[in-house]
Amino acid sequence: MQQPHPLEAENRALRRQLEALLREARANEEKMRRFEALEHRLIGARSLHELLQLLMDEYRRAFGLDACSLALVDREQELARLLEAELREGMHLRGLRLLPSAAPLQALFGGDERPRLGPFDAARHGPLLGTGLASVALLPLVRRGQLIGSLHFGSSDPERYTADAGTQLLERLGGIVGVCLESALNQERLKLAGLTDMLTGVHNRRYLEHRCLIEIAQARRYRHPLACLFLDLDGFKAINDGHGHGAGDIVLRMVGQAIQGQLRAGDTIARWGGEEFVALLPQAGGPQAREIAERIRAHVAARPIEAGPARIPVTISIGLALLDPEPAGREPAQQAERLLAAADAALYRAKHQGRNRVVSESA
Protein backbone atom coordinates (compact mmCIF):
# COMPACT_ATOMS: atom_id res chain seq x y z
CA MET A 1 0.00 0.00 0.00
CA GLN A 2 1.38 3.34 -1.08
CA GLN A 3 2.17 5.73 1.75
CA PRO A 4 0.83 9.31 1.40
CA HIS A 5 3.43 11.86 0.45
CA PRO A 6 4.68 13.84 3.48
CA LEU A 7 3.55 17.04 1.80
CA GLU A 8 -0.02 15.71 1.55
CA ALA A 9 -0.11 14.98 5.28
CA GLU A 10 1.33 18.41 5.98
CA ASN A 11 -1.31 20.01 3.73
CA ARG A 12 -4.12 18.19 5.53
CA ALA A 13 -2.78 19.39 8.87
CA LEU A 14 -2.53 22.92 7.53
CA ARG A 15 -6.11 22.74 6.22
CA ARG A 16 -7.32 21.61 9.64
CA GLN A 17 -5.47 24.49 11.27
CA LEU A 18 -6.92 26.92 8.73
CA GLU A 19 -10.46 25.63 9.29
CA ALA A 20 -9.99 26.00 13.07
CA LEU A 21 -8.73 29.56 12.58
CA LEU A 22 -11.70 30.37 10.33
CA ARG A 23 -14.14 28.96 12.90
CA GLU A 24 -12.48 31.05 15.60
CA ALA A 25 -12.60 34.14 13.38
CA ARG A 26 -16.30 33.61 12.67
CA ALA A 27 -16.97 33.11 16.39
CA ASN A 28 -15.03 36.27 17.23
CA GLU A 29 -16.89 38.16 14.50
CA GLU A 30 -20.23 37.03 15.97
CA LYS A 31 -19.06 37.94 19.47
CA MET A 32 -18.02 41.41 18.26
CA ARG A 33 -21.39 41.86 16.53
CA ARG A 34 -23.24 41.03 19.75
CA PHE A 35 -20.91 43.23 21.76
CA GLU A 36 -21.45 46.21 19.45
CA ALA A 37 -25.22 45.69 19.55
CA LEU A 38 -25.16 45.70 23.35
CA GLU A 39 -22.81 48.68 23.34
CA HIS A 40 -25.36 50.70 21.35
CA ARG A 41 -28.10 49.70 23.77
CA LEU A 42 -25.98 50.73 26.76
CA ILE A 43 -25.31 54.13 25.22
CA GLY A 44 -29.01 54.56 24.41
CA ALA A 45 -30.32 53.52 27.86
CA ARG A 46 -33.07 55.95 28.92
CA SER A 47 -32.62 55.56 32.67
CA LEU A 48 -30.19 54.34 35.29
CA HIS A 49 -32.45 51.36 36.01
CA GLU A 50 -32.53 50.34 32.32
CA LEU A 51 -28.74 50.62 32.10
CA LEU A 52 -28.25 48.40 35.15
CA GLN A 53 -30.69 45.80 33.82
CA LEU A 54 -28.86 45.71 30.49
CA LEU A 55 -25.55 45.13 32.25
CA MET A 56 -26.69 42.39 34.59
CA ASP A 57 -29.39 40.61 32.58
CA GLU A 58 -28.93 41.23 28.85
CA TYR A 59 -25.14 40.84 28.86
CA ARG A 60 -25.41 37.57 30.76
CA ARG A 61 -27.93 36.18 28.27
CA ALA A 62 -26.22 37.53 25.16
CA PHE A 63 -22.84 35.99 26.02
CA GLY A 64 -24.00 32.84 27.77
CA LEU A 65 -22.62 33.68 31.19
CA ASP A 66 -23.47 31.66 34.27
CA ALA A 67 -23.25 34.68 36.59
CA CYS A 68 -23.03 38.44 36.33
CA SER A 69 -22.96 41.07 39.08
CA LEU A 70 -22.17 44.73 39.59
CA ALA A 71 -20.74 46.62 42.58
CA LEU A 72 -20.98 50.42 42.70
CA VAL A 73 -19.48 52.82 45.21
CA ASP A 74 -22.28 54.83 46.83
CA ARG A 75 -20.63 56.91 49.56
CA GLU A 76 -23.50 59.39 49.96
CA GLN A 77 -26.28 56.82 49.33
CA GLU A 78 -27.26 58.78 46.23
CA LEU A 79 -27.74 55.64 44.14
CA ALA A 80 -29.85 54.06 46.87
CA ARG A 81 -32.14 57.10 46.87
CA LEU A 82 -32.34 57.27 43.07
CA LEU A 83 -33.28 53.59 42.81
CA GLU A 84 -35.47 53.40 45.92
CA ALA A 85 -38.82 54.01 44.23
CA GLU A 86 -38.20 51.51 41.41
CA LEU A 87 -36.96 48.84 43.81
CA ARG A 88 -40.07 49.33 45.95
CA GLU A 89 -42.21 48.72 42.89
CA GLY A 90 -40.69 45.28 42.42
CA MET A 91 -38.15 46.18 39.72
CA HIS A 92 -35.48 44.05 41.35
CA LEU A 93 -31.87 44.41 40.29
CA ARG A 94 -30.47 41.00 41.06
CA GLY A 95 -26.71 41.09 41.43
CA LEU A 96 -26.36 44.79 42.31
CA ARG A 97 -24.36 45.75 45.39
CA LEU A 98 -23.98 49.30 46.66
CA LEU A 99 -20.82 49.87 48.68
CA PRO A 100 -20.27 52.66 51.24
CA SER A 101 -16.63 53.00 50.14
CA ALA A 102 -14.21 51.84 47.43
CA ALA A 103 -12.07 49.91 49.95
CA PRO A 104 -13.41 46.40 49.03
CA LEU A 105 -12.79 47.07 45.33
CA GLN A 106 -9.33 48.50 45.94
CA ALA A 107 -8.49 45.30 47.83
CA LEU A 108 -9.89 43.26 44.92
CA PHE A 109 -7.83 44.99 42.21
CA GLY A 110 -4.81 46.09 44.23
CA GLY A 111 -4.47 49.39 42.41
CA ASP A 112 -4.38 47.75 38.96
CA GLU A 113 -6.99 49.25 36.63
CA ARG A 114 -6.95 46.34 34.16
CA PRO A 115 -9.48 43.45 34.08
CA ARG A 116 -8.62 40.42 36.20
CA LEU A 117 -9.19 37.01 34.58
CA GLY A 118 -8.56 33.63 36.12
CA PRO A 119 -9.89 30.66 38.09
CA PHE A 120 -12.81 31.07 40.47
CA ASP A 121 -11.84 31.49 44.13
CA ALA A 122 -14.80 30.82 46.42
CA ALA A 123 -13.43 32.96 49.24
CA ARG A 124 -12.72 36.02 47.08
CA HIS A 125 -15.31 35.70 44.32
CA GLY A 126 -18.18 33.87 46.03
CA PRO A 127 -19.61 37.01 47.69
CA LEU A 128 -19.64 38.70 44.27
CA LEU A 129 -20.91 35.94 42.00
CA GLY A 130 -22.20 33.01 44.04
CA THR A 131 -21.04 29.40 43.77
CA GLY A 132 -20.59 26.69 41.15
CA LEU A 133 -18.25 28.66 38.89
CA ALA A 134 -14.87 27.77 37.40
CA SER A 135 -13.52 31.02 35.95
CA VAL A 136 -14.19 34.73 36.40
CA ALA A 137 -13.56 38.11 34.79
CA LEU A 138 -13.47 41.19 37.02
CA LEU A 139 -13.69 44.59 35.30
CA PRO A 140 -12.78 47.73 37.28
CA LEU A 141 -14.96 50.74 36.40
CA VAL A 142 -12.95 53.95 36.52
CA ARG A 143 -14.01 57.53 35.83
CA ARG A 144 -11.77 60.59 36.13
CA GLY A 145 -9.13 58.55 37.92
CA GLN A 146 -11.57 57.25 40.55
CA LEU A 147 -12.63 53.62 41.02
CA ILE A 148 -16.44 53.89 40.92
CA GLY A 149 -17.35 50.21 40.76
CA SER A 150 -16.65 46.83 39.21
CA LEU A 151 -18.44 44.47 36.83
CA HIS A 152 -18.08 40.72 37.38
CA PHE A 153 -18.62 37.79 34.99
CA GLY A 154 -18.58 34.12 35.97
CA SER A 155 -18.55 30.91 33.95
CA SER A 156 -18.67 27.21 34.76
CA ASP A 157 -16.13 26.68 31.95
CA PRO A 158 -12.58 26.84 33.38
CA GLU A 159 -11.27 27.88 29.95
CA ARG A 160 -13.69 30.79 29.51
CA TYR A 161 -11.57 33.30 31.44
CA THR A 162 -7.89 32.43 31.76
CA ALA A 163 -5.09 34.62 33.08
CA ASP A 164 -3.31 34.65 29.69
CA ALA A 165 -6.41 35.61 27.68
CA GLY A 166 -6.65 38.96 25.92
CA THR A 167 -8.52 41.71 27.75
CA GLN A 168 -8.89 44.34 25.03
CA LEU A 169 -12.62 43.77 24.57
CA LEU A 170 -13.26 43.73 28.31
CA GLU A 171 -11.22 46.91 28.81
CA ARG A 172 -13.33 48.57 26.13
CA LEU A 173 -16.51 47.39 27.83
CA GLY A 174 -15.33 48.71 31.21
CA GLY A 175 -14.62 52.13 29.69
CA ILE A 176 -18.03 52.28 28.01
CA VAL A 177 -19.85 51.20 31.17
CA GLY A 178 -18.04 53.86 33.22
CA VAL A 179 -19.07 56.62 30.79
CA CYS A 180 -22.65 55.32 30.56
CA LEU A 181 -22.99 55.17 34.35
CA GLU A 182 -21.79 58.76 34.71
CA SER A 183 -24.19 59.90 31.99
CA ALA A 184 -27.14 58.00 33.49
CA LEU A 185 -26.43 59.44 36.94
CA ASN A 186 -26.37 62.96 35.53
CA GLN A 187 -29.70 62.34 33.77
CA GLU A 188 -31.24 61.08 37.02
CA ARG A 189 -29.91 64.12 38.88
CA LEU A 190 -31.51 66.42 36.32
CA LYS A 191 -34.82 64.57 36.59
CA LEU A 192 -34.64 64.70 40.37
CA ALA A 193 -33.89 68.44 40.30
CA GLY A 194 -37.15 68.94 38.40
CA LEU A 195 -39.04 66.96 41.06
CA THR A 196 -37.44 68.52 44.13
CA ASP A 197 -38.42 71.62 46.07
CA MET A 198 -35.29 73.75 46.04
CA LEU A 199 -35.98 75.46 49.36
CA THR A 200 -36.71 72.45 51.57
CA GLY A 201 -34.96 69.64 49.67
CA VAL A 202 -38.04 67.39 49.78
CA HIS A 203 -40.05 66.43 46.69
CA ASN A 204 -42.27 69.01 45.03
CA ARG A 205 -45.96 68.96 44.13
CA ARG A 206 -45.32 67.63 40.64
CA TYR A 207 -43.57 64.56 42.04
CA LEU A 208 -46.27 64.04 44.68
CA GLU A 209 -49.06 64.04 42.10
CA HIS A 210 -47.17 61.46 40.01
CA ARG A 211 -46.31 59.35 43.06
CA CYS A 212 -49.88 59.42 44.32
CA LEU A 213 -51.12 57.72 41.13
CA ILE A 214 -48.49 55.00 41.52
CA GLU A 215 -49.28 54.39 45.19
CA ILE A 216 -53.02 54.21 44.46
CA ALA A 217 -52.44 51.71 41.66
CA GLN A 218 -50.27 49.62 44.01
CA ALA A 219 -52.85 49.82 46.81
CA ARG A 220 -55.63 48.69 44.45
CA ARG A 221 -53.57 45.88 42.97
CA TYR A 222 -52.39 44.40 46.26
CA ARG A 223 -55.38 45.50 48.35
CA HIS A 224 -53.34 47.26 51.00
CA PRO A 225 -54.24 50.55 52.73
CA LEU A 226 -52.93 53.97 51.77
CA ALA A 227 -53.00 57.03 54.01
CA CYS A 228 -52.51 60.68 53.11
CA LEU A 229 -51.42 63.46 55.48
CA PHE A 230 -51.97 67.15 54.71
CA LEU A 231 -49.68 69.19 56.99
CA ASP A 232 -49.72 72.96 57.46
CA LEU A 233 -47.58 75.21 59.66
CA ASP A 234 -49.67 77.15 62.18
CA GLY A 235 -49.36 80.94 62.10
CA PHE A 236 -46.67 80.99 59.43
CA LYS A 237 -47.57 84.52 58.29
CA ALA A 238 -46.82 85.80 61.80
CA ILE A 239 -43.38 84.12 61.63
CA ASN A 240 -42.62 85.89 58.35
CA ASP A 241 -43.94 89.20 59.61
CA GLY A 242 -42.19 89.00 62.99
CA HIS A 243 -38.83 87.47 62.03
CA GLY A 244 -38.49 88.13 58.30
CA HIS A 245 -38.75 85.93 55.21
CA GLY A 246 -35.22 84.59 55.72
CA ALA A 247 -36.24 83.15 59.07
CA GLY A 248 -39.45 81.85 57.47
CA ASP A 249 -37.36 79.98 54.87
CA ILE A 250 -35.29 78.39 57.64
CA VAL A 251 -38.46 77.29 59.42
CA LEU A 252 -39.86 75.71 56.25
CA ARG A 253 -36.61 73.90 55.56
CA MET A 254 -36.28 72.57 59.12
CA VAL A 255 -39.93 71.51 59.32
CA GLY A 256 -39.61 69.66 56.00
CA GLN A 257 -36.57 67.80 57.34
CA ALA A 258 -38.36 67.09 60.63
CA ILE A 259 -41.36 65.56 58.82
CA GLN A 260 -39.11 63.48 56.60
CA GLY A 261 -37.16 62.24 59.62
CA GLN A 262 -40.32 60.87 61.26
CA LEU A 263 -41.55 58.96 58.20
CA ARG A 264 -40.79 55.36 57.29
CA ALA A 265 -38.40 54.37 54.50
CA GLY A 266 -41.18 53.78 51.94
CA ASP A 267 -43.20 56.93 52.67
CA THR A 268 -43.26 60.02 50.44
CA ILE A 269 -43.06 63.65 51.58
CA ALA A 270 -43.52 66.70 49.33
CA ARG A 271 -43.96 70.41 49.72
CA TRP A 272 -47.40 71.15 48.31
CA GLY A 273 -46.96 74.91 48.25
CA GLY A 274 -46.39 77.79 50.66
CA GLU A 275 -46.27 76.32 54.16
CA GLU A 276 -48.16 73.12 53.24
CA PHE A 277 -46.70 69.61 52.96
CA VAL A 278 -48.28 66.32 51.91
CA ALA A 279 -47.17 62.82 52.94
CA LEU A 280 -48.24 59.47 51.47
CA LEU A 281 -48.07 56.45 53.76
CA PRO A 282 -48.43 53.17 51.81
CA GLN A 283 -49.57 50.10 53.74
CA ALA A 284 -50.58 52.24 56.73
CA GLY A 285 -54.11 51.78 58.08
CA GLY A 286 -55.92 54.32 60.24
CA PRO A 287 -54.29 53.59 63.64
CA GLN A 288 -50.75 53.38 62.24
CA ALA A 289 -51.19 56.50 60.10
CA ARG A 290 -52.53 58.45 63.06
CA GLU A 291 -49.61 57.29 65.20
CA ILE A 292 -47.16 58.56 62.54
CA ALA A 293 -49.03 61.86 62.26
CA GLU A 294 -49.03 62.37 66.02
CA ARG A 295 -45.33 61.58 66.16
CA ILE A 296 -44.64 64.25 63.53
CA ARG A 297 -46.83 66.81 65.30
CA ALA A 298 -45.22 66.20 68.71
CA HIS A 299 -41.68 66.22 67.28
CA VAL A 300 -42.19 69.61 65.59
CA ALA A 301 -43.92 71.17 68.63
CA ALA A 302 -41.18 70.04 71.02
CA ARG A 303 -38.30 71.64 69.14
CA PRO A 304 -38.20 75.43 68.58
CA ILE A 305 -36.28 76.35 65.45
CA GLU A 306 -33.18 78.52 65.67
CA ALA A 307 -33.17 81.20 62.98
CA GLY A 308 -30.29 83.57 63.66
CA PRO A 309 -30.64 84.94 67.18
CA ALA A 310 -34.29 83.87 67.42
CA ARG A 311 -35.66 80.57 68.74
CA ILE A 312 -39.03 80.23 67.02
CA PRO A 313 -41.66 77.87 68.46
CA VAL A 314 -43.49 76.06 65.65
CA THR A 315 -46.57 73.85 65.56
CA ILE A 316 -48.36 72.12 62.71
CA SER A 317 -51.90 70.96 62.04
CA ILE A 318 -52.43 67.69 60.20
CA GLY A 319 -55.36 66.31 58.25
CA LEU A 320 -55.48 62.53 57.75
CA ALA A 321 -57.45 60.63 55.11
CA LEU A 322 -57.49 57.00 54.00
CA LEU A 323 -57.96 55.69 50.48
CA ASP A 324 -61.42 54.24 49.89
CA PRO A 325 -60.87 50.45 49.82
CA GLU A 326 -63.82 50.08 47.40
CA PRO A 327 -63.13 52.50 44.54
CA ALA A 328 -66.27 51.48 42.61
CA GLY A 329 -64.60 51.81 39.22
CA ARG A 330 -63.00 55.21 39.80
CA GLU A 331 -59.80 55.95 37.91
CA PRO A 332 -56.58 56.49 39.94
CA ALA A 333 -56.60 60.21 39.04
CA GLN A 334 -60.13 60.58 40.45
CA GLN A 335 -59.17 58.65 43.57
CA ALA A 336 -56.05 60.79 44.03
CA GLU A 337 -58.14 63.95 43.80
CA ARG A 338 -60.66 62.64 46.35
CA LEU A 339 -57.93 61.42 48.72
CA LEU A 340 -56.09 64.75 48.71
CA ALA A 341 -59.35 66.69 49.04
CA ALA A 342 -60.38 64.58 52.03
CA ALA A 343 -57.03 65.12 53.75
CA ASP A 344 -57.29 68.86 53.01
CA ALA A 345 -60.80 68.96 54.49
CA ALA A 346 -59.52 67.19 57.61
CA LEU A 347 -56.73 69.78 57.86
CA TYR A 348 -59.32 72.57 57.66
CA ARG A 349 -61.14 71.01 60.60
CA ALA A 350 -57.86 70.71 62.55
CA LYS A 351 -57.27 74.44 62.07
CA HIS A 352 -60.74 75.35 63.25
CA GLN A 353 -60.55 73.05 66.26
CA GLY A 354 -57.57 74.95 67.69
CA ARG A 355 -54.51 73.97 65.57
CA ASN A 356 -51.54 71.83 66.63
CA ARG A 357 -53.59 68.66 66.30
CA VAL A 358 -54.37 65.69 64.03
CA VAL A 359 -57.88 65.27 62.61
CA SER A 360 -59.02 62.28 60.54
CA GLU A 361 -61.59 62.09 57.78
CA SER A 362 -62.64 59.25 55.48
CA ALA A 363 -61.83 59.70 51.80
Measure the CA angle with vertex 152, ends 147 and 154; round to 5°.
160
DSSP 196: B
Helix H segments across 73-161? Answer: 78-88, 103-109, 122-129
Nearest CA to 323 out of 232, 212, 211 is that of: 212
Residues near 318 by beta carbon (within 8 Å), at least 6 away in sequence: 229, 230, 231, 232, 293, 296, 297, 347, 350, 357, 358, 359
Is residue 55 within 8 Å of 42, Cβ to Cβ?
Answer: yes
Residue 317 bridge partners (DSSP): 232
3-state SS assignment for residue 182: helix
Beta strands in the chain (DSSP E): 67-73, 96-99, 116-119, 135-143, 146-155, 226-233, 268-273, 276-282, 305-307, 310-312, 316-322, 358-362
Annotated catalytic residue 275? yes
Q: Give me the catalytic one of 188, 215, 275, 361.
A: 275
Residue positions annotated with a catalytic role: 275
